[in-house]
Amino acid sequence: MVASTRIHLAMLVAAAALLRPSVAATYVVGDSLGWIVPPGGPIAYETWAAMHSFEVGDVLEFNFTTGDQDLARVTKEAFDACNSSNPIFLQTTGPYNYTLSTAGEYYFIGTMDRHCFLGQKLAINVTAAGSSPSPSSSVPPSRVSNTYVVGDDLGWIVPPGGEIAYKTWAYDKTFLVGDKLVFNFENGTQDVVEVTKDSYDSCNTSAPISVETISPAVITLASAGEHFYTSSYSRHCALGQKLAINVTSTSTGEAPCPSSIAGPPSSNPSPSAQSPTAGGPSSTVPKNTAQGGAKLGMGFSLAIMGVALGLVH
Ligand SMILES: *[C@@H]1O[C@H](CO)[C@@H](O)[C@H](O)[C@H]1NC(C)=O
Ligand SMILES: *[C@@H]1O[C@H](CO)[C@@H](O)[C@H](O)[C@H]1NC(C)=O
Ligand SMILES: *[C@@H]1O[C@H](CO)[C@@H](O)[C@H](O)[C@H]1NC(C)=O
Ligand SMILES: *[C@@H]1O[C@H](CO)[C@@H](O)[C@H](O)[C@H]1NC(C)=O
Ligand SMILES: *[C@@H]1O[C@H](CO)[C@@H](O)[C@H](O)[C@H]1NC(C)=O
Ligand SMILES: *[C@@H]1O[C@H](CO)[C@@H](O)[C@H](O)[C@H]1NC(C)=O
Ligand SMILES: *[C@@H]1O[C@H](CO)[C@@H](O)[C@H](O)[C@H]1NC(C)=O
């Protein structure tokens, strides 16, 4: 992500903070995957949905190519059966921005060929604006030292939808020196290795900075800067079990900037990317309106995630 976009993001974050309780957010469905027949099957959009929470007024940006995909909103019954014969709404030209205008459940499918059966389907819950569904148990109110459970209920696995899962998770989270990352995984099936940026980019885990083999692995973020984590098990990194975060020092007095999900991390951070007045460490996670913006799903009902986990195990 280039510096200008980072500045833009910082401004939006600041604006979002000023405009609380909330402003409408736009979510690109599936993030960089877009709206397609997902390679991993239905779990891709289940995972994506479970990592976000949606409010009335938010917009879903369905990014698809006209003629290759389409978009239908359907009933729950039609969603479950992949029955596209009587959609509530049908859009054949993409990309398309769907505004979530009322609270409740929304079911979307692709109607072409066997797209729905192959996993092009998205179910979400939309809550009334401002009613943040926050079981804040996973995020202590005190910002002195946060403990983050990596991937929330997904845990630390080879994510079904690829590396987008942990990018989405990290997006907009603020990591400060002293915060802890908790990696939950099954002993003997994963590990946590911290690696250099080069190793991370090339998925070469032969010379890790540190290795954690016992779950839960609790890692205290001891230094500011970029930190890169993956698993040293064969192909786990290549399949997307990787997490990159920016850790901000607490002592500088600067407002922390959220980790970026886009683009390769750069070694020369832009000083202007720091949000000037975002309210400091104790401010709540702002809802942002940037492309792919994610008001993170840590508070979102994890019902779907349960389904996802059921399929994984
Ligand atoms: C939509 O998909 C196209 C082609 O994959 C991509 O170039 C573009 O950046 C995507 N747009 C968004 C908003 O993600
Ligand atoms: C699909 O739904 C329509 C009504 O919406 C119904 O008439 C039809 O029988 C359904 N088809 C299947 C295969 O269930
Ligand atoms: C959807 O909304 C986003 C963000 O506001 C905007 O950048 C994009 O151009 C819109 N796309 C369409 C097809 O209207
Ligand atoms: C919406 O939330 C309700 C209540 O928590 C839950 O039973 C339902 O499965 C959710 N639906 C979707 C599509 O997430
Ligand atoms: C992986 O990294 C190690 C040490 O950093 C290096 O010796 C080795 O050549 C690298 N392997 C590949 C395939 O790049
Ligand atoms: C992993 O093993 C350690 C000790 O061997 C045990 O205490 C821990 O509960 C195990 N974790 C899981 C998730 O099974
Ligand atoms: C960390 O922040 C810098 C500067 O804002 C950015 O260029 C880089 O991509 C970020 N890295 C990660 C892993 O988010």
Q: How far apart are CA 291 and CA 118, in angstroms?
A: 27
Question: Given this model, what pLDDT does residue 68 score?
Answer: 96
Please report the pLDDT score of residue 129 as a whole number. Answer: 78
Instruction: Identify which has the larger pLDDT, 187 or 172.
Output: 187
Question: How confident is the model at residue 286, as a pLDDT?
Answer: 37
Ligand 3 touching residue 26 (CB < 6 A): yes
DSSP code string of 115-168: TTTTT-EEEEEEE-TT-----GGGS-S--SS-EEETTGGG-SS--TT-THHHHH
Give the whole-angstrom CA distance, residue 167 versus residue 237.
Answer: 13
Query: Is the predicted pLDDT of residue 67 greater than 90, yes or no?
Result: yes
- Looking at all shown ligands, the one closest to residue 292's CA atom is 1
Give tens-digit pLDDT for 202-213. Answer: 999 999 999 999
- Of all protein residues, whose CA lies closest to atom 4 belonging to ligand 5? 207
Annotated domain spans of the chain: 22-127, 147-312
- Angle subtended by helix axes 303-312 and 43-50, to nearest 10: 140
Homologous superfamily of 22-127: Cupredoxins -  blue copper proteins (2.60.40.420)
What pTM was estimated for this model as a whole?
0.48
Structure tokens at 24: 């409408």
Confidence of residue 168 (pLDDT cuts 50, 70, 90): confident
Measure 216 CA to ligand 6 centroid, in angstroms: 7
Q: Is 6 in the pocket of ligand 7 (CB under 6 A)?
A: yes
Q: Cite the DSSP H helix spans in 19-155.
A: 43-50, 76-81
Q: What is the CATH number of domain 147-312?
A: 2.60.40.420
Amino acid identity at 226: E
Closest CA to 68 of 37, 108, 27, 44: 37
186: nearest Cα among 47, 312, 55: 312
Residues at CB less than 6 angstroms from ligand 2: 81, 83, 85-86
Q: Tell how far the Cα of 275 is from the centroid of ligand 4, in angstroms.
A: 35
pLDDT of residue 206: 93
User: Does residue 8's CB lie within 6 angstroms of at least one atom of ligand 3?
Assistant: no
Instruction: Supply 205's token pair.
Output: 């885990």
> Going by CA atoms, what residue is nearest to atom 4 of ligand 7?
269
